[in-house]
Amino acid sequence: MLHFDSDYMEGAHPEILKRLSEINFHKYSGYGTDAICESAREKIRGACGCPEATIHFLVGGTQTNATVIRGLLRPFQGVLAPDSGHISLHEAGAVEAGGHKVIAIGNRDGKLYAGDVREYLLGFYGDENHPHMVKPGMVYISHPTEYGTLYTRQELEELSKVCREYKIPLYLDGARLSYALAAKGTDVTLKVIAENCDVFYIGGTKTGAMMGEAVVFPRFVPEDFFTIVKQSGALMAKGWMLGVQFDVLFTEGLYLECGKNGIKTAGMLREGLRNMGYSFYIDSPTNQLFVVLENRKMEELKEEVSFSFWEALDKSHTVVRFATSWATQEDEVEKLLSFL
Amino acid sequence: MLHFDSDYMEGAHPEILKRLSEINFHKYSGYGTDAICESAREKIRGACGCPEATIHFLVGGTQTNATVIRGLLRPFQGVLAPDSGHISLHEAGAVEAGGHKVIAIGNRDGKLYAGDVREYLLGFYGDENHPHMVKPGMVYISHPTEYGTLYTRQELEELSKVCREYKIPLYLDGARLSYALAAKGTDVTLKVIAENCDVFYIGGTKTGAMMGEAVVFPRFVPEDFFTIVKQSGALMAKGWMLGVQFDVLFTEGLYLECGKNGIKTAGMLREGLRNMGYSFYIDSPTNQLFVVLENRKMEELKEEVSFSFWEALDKSHTVVRFATSWATQEDEVEKLLSFL
Amino acid sequence: MLHFDSDYMEGAHPEILKRLSEINFHKYSGYGTDAICESAREKIRGACGCPEATIHFLVGGTQTNATVIRGLLRPFQGVLAPDSGHISLHEAGAVEAGGHKVIAIGNRDGKLYAGDVREYLLGFYGDENHPHMVKPGMVYISHPTEYGTLYTRQELEELSKVCREYKIPLYLDGARLSYALAAKGTDVTLKVIAENCDVFYIGGTKTGAMMGEAVVFPRFVPEDFFTIVKQSGALMAKGWMLGVQFDVLFTEGLYLECGKNGIKTAGMLREGLRNMGYSFYIDSPTNQLFVVLENRKMEELKEEVSFSFWEALDKSHTVVRFATSWATQEDEVEKLLSFL
Amino acid sequence: MLHFDSDYMEGAHPEILKRLSEINFHKYSGYGTDAICESAREKIRGACGCPEATIHFLVGGTQTNATVIRGLLRPFQGVLAPDSGHISLHEAGAVEAGGHKVIAIGNRDGKLYAGDVREYLLGFYGDENHPHMVKPGMVYISHPTEYGTLYTRQELEELSKVCREYKIPLYLDGARLSYALAAKGTDVTLKVIAENCDVFYIGGTKTGAMMGEAVVFPRFVPEDFFTIVKQSGALMAKGWMLGVQFDVLFTEGLYLECGKNGIKTAGMLREGLRNMGYSFYIDSPTNQLFVVLENRKMEELKEEVSFSFWEALDKSHTVVRFATSWATQEDEVEKLLSFL
**pLDDT tens digits, A228-246:** 999 999 999 999 999 999 9
Rounded CA separation C250/C36 (Å) = 12
**Chain mean position to CA C10:** 17
Considering only CB atoms, C134 lies closest to which of D93, D100, D131, namely D93
Question: Which whole number is the average pLDDT over A68-81?
Answer: 97
Task: Looking at the complex, report in whole angstroms how far the Cα of residue C71 sits from the nearest Cα belonging to chain B.
Answer: 12
Span A137-188, pLDDT tens digits = 999 999 999 999 999 999 999 999 999 999 999 999 999 999 999 999 999 9
- The subunits that touch chain C, with at least 3 C-beta pairs less than 8 Å apart, are A, B, D
Which of C231, C305, C306, C321 to probe the B interface (max B CBs under 10 A)?
C231
Residues of D with Cβ-Cβ distance to A60 under 8 angstroms = 233, 235-237
Residues of A with Cβ-Cβ distance to B96 under 8 angstroms = 78, 96, 99-101, 134
Q: Domain B14-252, what fold? A: Aspartate Aminotransferase; domain 2 (3.40.640)
Interchain pair B90, A309: CB under 8 A: no
Task: Looking at the complex, report in whole angstroms how far the Cα of residue C6 sits from the nearest Cα belonging to chain B.
Answer: 9
Interchain pair D76, B131: CB under 8 A: no
Whether pLDDT at A44 is above 90: yes
Considering only CB atoms, B99 lies closest to which of A89, A90, A99, namely A99
Considering only CB atoms, A133 lies closest to which of B90, B104, B131, namely B90
Contacts of C173 (CB under 8 A, 6+ apart): C61, C64, C65, C85, C86, C87, C140, C141, C142, C143, C200, C201
Interchain pair B100, A92: CB under 8 A: no
pLDDT band at D95 (very low <50, low <70, confident <90, very high): very high
Residues of A with Cβ-Cβ distance to B104 under 8 angstroms = 104
The nearest alpha carbon in chain A to C230 belongs to A132
Nearest to B141 by CA among B175, B164, B184: B175
Interchain pair B8, C211: CB under 8 A: no
Question: Which whole number is the average pLDDT over D69-82?
Answer: 97
Residues of C with Cβ-Cβ distance to B62 under 8 angstroms = 230-231, 233, 235
Q: Domain C26-252, what fold? A: Aspartate Aminotransferase; domain 2 (3.40.640)
Task: Looking at the complex, report in whole angstroms how far the Cα of residue B71 sits from the nearest Cα belonging to chain D.
Answer: 8
The total of other beta-carbon atoms located within 10 Å of residue C127's CB is 15
The nearest alpha carbon in chain A to C135 belongs to A227
The nearest alpha carbon in chain B to C325 belongs to B27
Question: Which whole number is the average pLDDT over D82-109?
Answer: 97
Interchain pair C133, D90: CB under 8 A: yes
Whether pLDDT at C31 is above 90: yes
Interchain pair B102, A101: CB under 8 A: yes
pLDDT over 90 for what percent of chain A?
A: 98
Considering only CB atoms, B128 lies closest to which of A129, A133, A309, namely A309
- Predicted structure pTM score: 0.97
Q: What is the pLDDT of residue B187?
A: 98
Span C262-283, pLDDT tens digits = 999 999 999 999 999 999 999 9
Rounded CA separation D6/C250 (Å) = 61
The nearest alpha carbon in chain D to A32 belongs to D9
Residues of D with Cβ-Cβ distance to B72 under 8 angstroms = none
Task: Looking at the complex, report in whole angstroms how far the Cα of residue C134 sits from the nearest Cα belonging to chain A.
Answer: 8
Q: Which residues of C touch D (CB under 8 A)?
A: 75-76, 78, 89-93, 96-97, 99-102, 104, 128-129, 131-134, 309
**Chain mean position to CA B159:** 17
Q: What is the pLDDT of residue D67?
A: 98
Report domain extents, chain D: 2-7+255-339, 26-252
Written as one string, the DSSP assignment of D70-90 is: HHH--TTEEEEEETTSHHHHS
Whether pLDDT at D301 is above 90: yes
Interchain pair A75, C76: CB under 8 A: no
Question: Which whole number is the average pLDDT over A68-87?
Answer: 97
Burial A73-100, CB ≥16 within 10 A → b, else e: bbbbbbbbbbebbbbbbbbbbbbbbbbb
Choose the weakest-confidence range: A246-250, C98-102, C312-316: C312-316
Considering only CB atoms, C231 lies closest to which of B92, B205, B235, namely B92
Length of chain D: 340
Considering only CB atoms, A134 lies closest to which of B75, B78, B93, namely B93
Which of C79, C96, C319 to probe the D interface (max D CBs under 10 A)?
C96
Interchain pair D75, B71: CB under 8 A: yes
Three-state secondary structure string covering chain B: CEECCCCCCCCCCHHHHHHHHHCCCCCCCCCCCCHHHHHHHHHHHHHHCCCCCEEEEECCHHHHHHHHHHHHCCCCEEEEEECCCHHHHCCCCHHHHCCCCEEEECCECCECCHHHHHHHHHHHHHCCCHHHCCEEEEEEEECCCCCCCCCCHHHHHHHHHHHHHCCCCEEEEECCHHHHHCCCCCCCCHHHHHHHCCEEEEECCCCCCCCCEEEEECCCCCCCHHHHHHHCCCCCCCCHHHHHHHHHHCCCCHHHHHHHHHHHHHHHHHHHHHHCCCEECCCCCCCEEEEEEEHHHHHHHHCCEECEEEEEEECCEEEEEEECCCCCCHHHHHHHHHHC
Residue ranges of chain B with pLDDT lower than 70?
none
Q: What is the pLDDT of residue C257?
A: 98
Interchain pair D75, B76: CB under 8 A: no
Interchain pair A92, D29: CB under 8 A: no
Residues of C with Cβ-Cβ distance to B26 under 8 angstroms = 10-11
- Name the phi and psi angles at D111, rounded to 5: -105, 155
Interchain pair D93, C129: CB under 8 A: no
Span C279-311, pLDDT tens digits = 999 999 999 999 999 999 999 999 999 999 998
Which of D5, D65, D96, D302 to probe the C interface (max C CBs under 10 A)?
D96
pLDDT band at D293 (very low <50, low <70, confident <90, very high): very high
Residues of B with Cβ-Cβ distance to C14 under 8 angstroms = 24
The nearest alpha carbon in chain C to D88 belongs to C133
Interchain pair B70, D75: CB under 8 A: yes
Residue type, B188: V
Rounded CA separation C227/D275 (Å) = 65
Span C191-200, pLDDT tens digits = 999 999 999 9
* ipTM value greater than 0.85: yes
Nearest to A317 by CA among A286, A284, A292: A292
Whether pLDDT at A311 is above 90: no
Which of A31, A59, A100 to probe the D interface (max D CBs under 10 A)?
A59
Residues of C with Cβ-Cβ distance to D104 under 8 angstroms = 104
Q: If you average pLDDT over every residue of chain A, what do you get?
A: 97
Which of D105, D133, D134 to probe the C interface (max C CBs under 10 A)?
D134
Task: Looking at the complex, report in whole angstroms how far the Cα of residue A129 sits from the nearest Cα belonging to chain B.
Answer: 8
Task: Looking at the complex, report in whole angstroms how far the Cα of residue B133 sits from the nearest Cα belonging to chain A.
Answer: 4
Task: Looking at the complex, report in whole angstroms how far the Cα of residue D125 sits from the nearest Cα belonging to chain A.
Answer: 30
Q: If you average pLDDT over every residue of chain C, what do you get?
A: 97
Q: Domain A15-252, what fold? A: Aspartate Aminotransferase; domain 2 (3.40.640)
Interchain pair D92, C75: CB under 8 A: no
Considering only CB atoms, C224 lies closest to which of A70, A71, A76, namely A76
- Burial (CB count <10 Å: 0-12, 13-18, 19+), residue D88: buried
Q: What is the pLDDT of residue D311?
A: 87
- Name the phi and psi angles at D135, rounded to 5: -80, 130
Q: Domain A2-7+255-339, what fold? A: Aspartate Aminotransferase, domain 1 (3.90.1150)
